Structure 1
């Protein structure tokens, strides 16, 4: 009787494996719109070099054109851009650093950032407490 049950278990396991293999979804290597008759292999997968010259790359913002008939914009000198643009990537203080400072002496922009980040942290904390209940 034990042998009969072992054989039954084996057949169930094998049946599950076959169903798992049959039920898998596969995709072609060429993508959804692969051309018929196109050769697949190492040559098709290699990257081609850029067709733009170094001079064009250094004087224009390649790929910034969004218009059909437009051209890519030229790179200007730093003095021709607005002042605020150069400060967009400046590091701003984190919430922990803002909490260490006195609120009364913070500049308006940092105070506004502190309120926003503090509210966000408080909401996350309240949500996590409610989720645990």
Structure 2
């Protein structure tokens, strides 16, 4: 269909600017990189097996290097990392749980979290009330 469209454009001698606006560009399904006789690219798209040894995988952080001439960093013992790093994934109390507790006895971090979550909840409630009116 598109071939007939372009033939018609050539015979009518329409300027190139108009053809660029109305033209349609298409690509082949295989992208031109398929081997003869192959259908699709199922085997070529499969993930390749890693060539790194198990020793290298267990001692370095593979793929963490961001520098062009750098190397992947080595994994250090736990004592070399800061203490806060191991507490990043700890469960923190939800707002409903913090509301049930006495605010006078809360530690500073929990009190700070309570204020933040409570403000966020009040803002959402105010916005929903304004949206209904």
Q: Same fold judged by TM-score > 0.5?
A: yes
Q: Secondary structure at the match of 2:75?
A: coil
What corresponds to 2:55 in structure 1?
A: 55
1:41: Cα distance to partner?
Answer: 2.6
- RMSD (Å), alpha carbons: 2.1
4+ long deviations beyond 2 Å: 26-30, 36-41
Once the two structures are superposed, residues 36-76 of structure 1 have per-residue CA deviations (whole angstroms, 9 ceiling, x without a partner) of: 33343321221211121111111111111111111111101
Question: What TM-score does the superposition give when structure 2 sets the normalisation length?
Answer: 0.70
What corresponds to 1:129 in structure 2?
A: 129
Matches of 1:37 and 1:129 in 2, distance apart?
58
Q: Secondary structure at the match of 1:68?
A: coil
Gaps of 5+ in 2: 1-25
The count of aligned residue pairs is 104
Single out whichever of 40-49 and 60-69 deviates more from structure 2.
Answer: 40-49
Matches of 1:84 and 1:62 in 2, distance apart?
23
Contact 2:34 2:41 in 1 (8 A): no
User: 1:58/1:27 Cα in 2 relative to 1: closer, same or farther (>3 Å)?
Assistant: farther
Gaps of 5+ in 1: 1-25
What corresponds to 1:74 in structure 2?
A: 74
Q: Secondary structure at the match of 2:51?
A: coil
User: What does 1:102-113 align with in structure 2 at a 5 Å threshold?
Assistant: 102-113=102-113
